[in-house]
Structure 1
Amino acid sequence: MKVKVGSSTFLKVIIFLIGIAVLAVCIVLLPEAARRDAIERPGDYSLYPLLVCAYGICITFSVALYQVLKLLTYVEKKNAFSELCLQSLEVIKKCTFTVIFFIFLAIVYLRVLAQFTDDDATGPISLCLMGILVTSIVASIVDVLQKPIKNVLDSQPKSN
């Protein structure tokens, strides 16, 4: 399995830029949204559960991005079929399920909030469902990538 250094470096740069964007969301956009909401509706804390879900998703996504960077490093060093690679894929899969959990919590909260405020939460809930769909696709891709690595590791003789 020969990987060009330029393509993996390009992927690392893209992942790094995505990480910077996630950091900007956590540091700039989410606190600004909380500040605006506090000014517009003092004493109303209905945005905070959504902020907790958003921060949970951002942190989990950052962990997954770090694992992808580690995975690319393993592939560059020709350790694509190693136990370390398998562990990184496992962490990425756990991160996808955690993101799905946070999105599900947001859906439940939006539905309960809509029940009490008589708002229509159909739009945000449908966006959340699309997020679950995309995250599920990533989880299944990671699972498909794990199977050949497990097969190769299982077929190798174990050294004591």
Structure 2
Amino acid sequence: MERGTTLFLKVAVFLIGITVLALCVFLLPWLANYTAEMYPEFAYLQYPILIGLYITAIPFFIALYQALKLLNYIDNNNAFSELSVKALKYIKYCAVTISILYVIGIIFLISQNASQPGIAVIGFTIIFTSAVIAVFTAVLQKLLKNALDIKSENDLTV
């Protein structure tokens, strides 16, 4: 594989990480304060929601780091290795964790009678996207594991 392709993907992963970090540091606190001023009846939810969003950022950044490691394995011609399978496993776990945390968050908002349709749509979109990523990485992980098993069998027969 050409290095330009993986370089492009590394830059994209890096830019996504920087964007989400900037959102977490600058935009989310401002948005939480602005929303609390606009809707004072829901101001008590400001910090639990921020904490929940910051907690979901942790597996997101772990998954981005694993994606960078996977791209490095591809660059080093180690794409078909146990390390790649392990990186895909961690990405899958992170995606499942994000989905679960958002389900818990939506249930919390509904229990507080604070779920707005726009927020619910965003939450369900994130849940669906994370679930798709989890399934996709699980399939890739299984295919890669099968390829490694076949390679191992061929190495033993020769």
TM-score normalised by length of structure 2 = 0.86
2:135 aligned with 1:136, yes or no?
Answer: no
| Counterpart for residue 62 of structure 2 | 63
**Contact (CA 8 Å) 1:110, 1:125: kept in 2 or not?**
no
Counterpart code for 1:139: A
Give the superposition deviation at 1:81.
Answer: 0.9
Q: Distance in 1 between matches of 2:115 and 2:100?
A: 22
| Counterpart for residue 109 of structure 1 | 108
Number of residues of Structure 1 aligned to a counterpart in Structure 2: 153
| Counterpart for residue 146 of structure 1 | 141
Note the 1:28-67 alignment, pairs <5 A.
Answer: 28-37=26-35, 41=40, 44-67=43-66
Give the superposition deviation at 1:144.
Answer: 1.3
**Contact (CA 8 Å) 1:49, 1:109: kept in 2 or not?**
no
TM-score normalised by length of structure 1 = 0.85
Give the superposition deviation at 1:108.
Answer: 0.6
- Could you tell me which runs of 5 or more consecutive residues in structure 1 were left unpaired when the two chains were aligned: none
Give the superposition deviation at 1:48.
Answer: 1.7
Q: Distance in 2 between matches of 1:36 and 1:82?
A: 48
The sequence identity of aligned pairs, in percent, is: 39
Distance 1:83 1:120, change over 3 A: closer
Indicate the structure with greater helix content: 2
Once the two structures are superposed, residues 130-154 of structure 1 have per-residue CA deviations (whole angstroms, 9 ceiling, x without a partner) of 2211111111110111112111222
Give the superposition deviation at 1:39.
Answer: 5.5
| Counterpart for residue 100 of structure 1 | 99
Q: Distance in 1 between matches of 2:90 and 2:131?
A: 15
Q: Distance in 1 between matches of 2:6 and 2:117?
A: 40
Q: What root-mean-square deviation, in Å, do the aligned CA atoms of Structure 1 and Structure 2 show?
A: 2.3
Distance 1:148 1:128, change over 3 A: same
Once the two structures are superposed, residues 18-77 of structure 1 have per-residue CA deviations (whole angstroms, 9 ceiling, x without a partner) of 010011011111222334356664994212221122112222111111100000000111
- Could you tell me which runs of 5 or more consecutive residues in structure 2 were left unpaired when the two chains were aligned: none
User: Which secondary structure does the structure 1 equivalent of 2:105 belong to?
Assistant: helix
